[in-house]
Structure 1
């Protein structure tokens, strides 16, 4: 169901585009819409300046958006369900989304810090036309320690003997055809598991990891999705803002995790992890 901008307006936006059409998927439900302004302003400044962008905002808000934004009404499903059913939200609007050549989802708390050209994120044929984010802290861990879903009754299940990468849910995308296939399969798996009360441990992220298991895709690291409280890498192009700090500054109630480690200790822990990751990358580079 469309609210705000009509489906005809979707057509008018997309028909204006020349060349590559990149759809930006954004979920702004309830208080999370307060993060939208910074996302949009920094995206307009830094994201894909070499391509045309159309924004698809899934929201329950009656607010008006800029002309380049398609507002898609999304009921507030409450807390975790707004994340769990993320791929279902996308797939239900596949007709509108299919008018774009590529689709990319970014977490609502994202701000862009440096220029990102389309070639940096767009996956090619040898990468299965799909992209996902894997933080460097997981690339120096044993896969046995990844937070994969270990419940064999869940369709997101990954055994301790499987896996090479752990993918974060805050950035993923690809060519529209392949990305909508991903969304459809994750949606189906979620619906089946919910029916059987076998919901995966890390919501949509668990199903994403299961779908991408053993697939050759384009993988980007923390440069394209650094949590605000990470010290490294210092040259990150995308930051995931600390939602607790942001909402507190706006006087909005939010329950989140608190890191009680002193800042200096966190700095050296982060430095150690990043140096290990950098060393691993160098070894792989020279080995190739």
Structure 2
């Protein structure tokens, strides 16, 4: 392979943090060579599972989600798209590259979108043990109301990874919207925490995602038994988990961005973008006007 030699005294990025205090890399454009990484993961014969939940009207996002994933996600590698949905018949039939497969998984619907959000940890935990462990090496868990807009490849894969929330990349701890009520299992004290992670993009090996989702689900149900719901549902519990179980790799805001937040200079790529939508229309089953 032909590539530029790395230099000890010439760091590839000096404008952003590229490694955490616990020595986990933070992935930005310019910090990795995708050709080297692709070869490493091909030698390991890696298969990646991409999980997405399309409950109720969220199936309307699947066409664009899957088409853009075929263009940008794990190009050249085997991928299984696990689509959790209450409407398997609505999953679009798109042309896939060799070695890639769409697998609809029928799941229960819930009246409240908050309940659907929290139950994702339970469903991921169940299928990690029952199915994913024998079918894929890594799981990437994302939201459906997104589109891929640039390369997202094996550079993201690690034992367990999270993604810095695009609204909090420069915020101090006190500004993080952690769960601050001590009565909740998601509680994080004011003087703890490293980053605020978004619940819409996390993953790792199947075994580690199983551990993560098991802990989050148990804590969600413990809260539920006390009539408590964390401020940001499963995202609050994910952040609590990452305070005490540090991720081995962190994805920069390149990997989940919202164009309404502008175009900061440090952001060289926008790899996974939020799709503009009317939240009320999507979440309210009685309202059929999607915008």
Confirm or deny a common fold (TM above 0.5): yes
Contact between 2:88 and 2:104, CA under 8 Å: does it hold in 1?
A: no
2:156 aligned residue: 121
Among candidates 154, 166, 174, match of residue 144 of structure 1: 174
After superposition, the Cα gap between the structure-2 partners of 1:158 and 1:59, relative to the gap in structure 1 and judged at 3 Å, is same
Contact between 2:88 and 2:105, CA under 8 Å: does it hold in 1?
A: no
- Please show how residues 49-60 of structure 1 align to structure 2 within 5 Å: 49-60=75-86
Contact between 1:50 and 1:117, CA under 8 Å: does it hold in 2?
A: no
Q: Does 1:85 align with 2:115?
A: no
How big is the shift at 1:224?
0.5
1:21 aligned residue: 47
- Please show how residues 27-38 of structure 1 align to structure 2 within 5 Å: 27-38=53-64
- Please show how residues 44-193 of structure 1 align to structure 2 within 5 Å: 44-63=70-89, 65-66=92-93, 68-78=101-111, 79-94=113-128, 95-98=130-133, 99-118=135-154, 120-123=155-158, 129-193=159-223
Q: Does 1:226 align with 2:262?
A: no
Give the whole-Å Cα distance in 2 for the aligned partners of 1:42 and 1:237: 11
Structure 1 counterpart SS, 2:50: strand
Contact between 1:112 and 1:238, CA under 8 Å: does it hold in 2?
A: yes
Report how many residues are paired: 230
Structure 2 counterpart SS, 1:226: coil
- Superposition CA RMSD, Å: 2.2
Give the whole-Å Cα distance in 2 for the aligned partners of 1:45 and 1:254: 26
> Can you give the 5+ residue segments of structure 1 that lack an aligned partner in the other structure?
1-17, 124-128, 256-288
- Using structure 2 for the length normalisation, give the TM-score: 0.74
Higher helix share: 1
Q: Which sits farther off after the overlay, 37-46 or 220-229? A: 220-229
Contact between 1:47 and 1:116, CA under 8 Å: does it hold in 2?
A: yes
Q: Deviations over 1:88-138 (max 9, x none)?
A: 1111222111121000111111101112221x2101xxxxx1111113542
1:277 aligned residue: none
How big is the shift at 1:234?
6.3
Give the whole-Å Cα distance in 2 for the aligned partners of 1:48 and 1:186: 27
> Can you give the 5+ residue segments of structure 2 that lack an aligned partner in the other structure?
1-43, 94-99
After superposition, the Cα gap between the structure-2 partners of 1:201 and 1:254, relative to the gap in structure 1 and judged at 3 Å, is farther
Contact between 1:130 and 1:175, CA under 8 Å: does it hold in 2?
A: yes
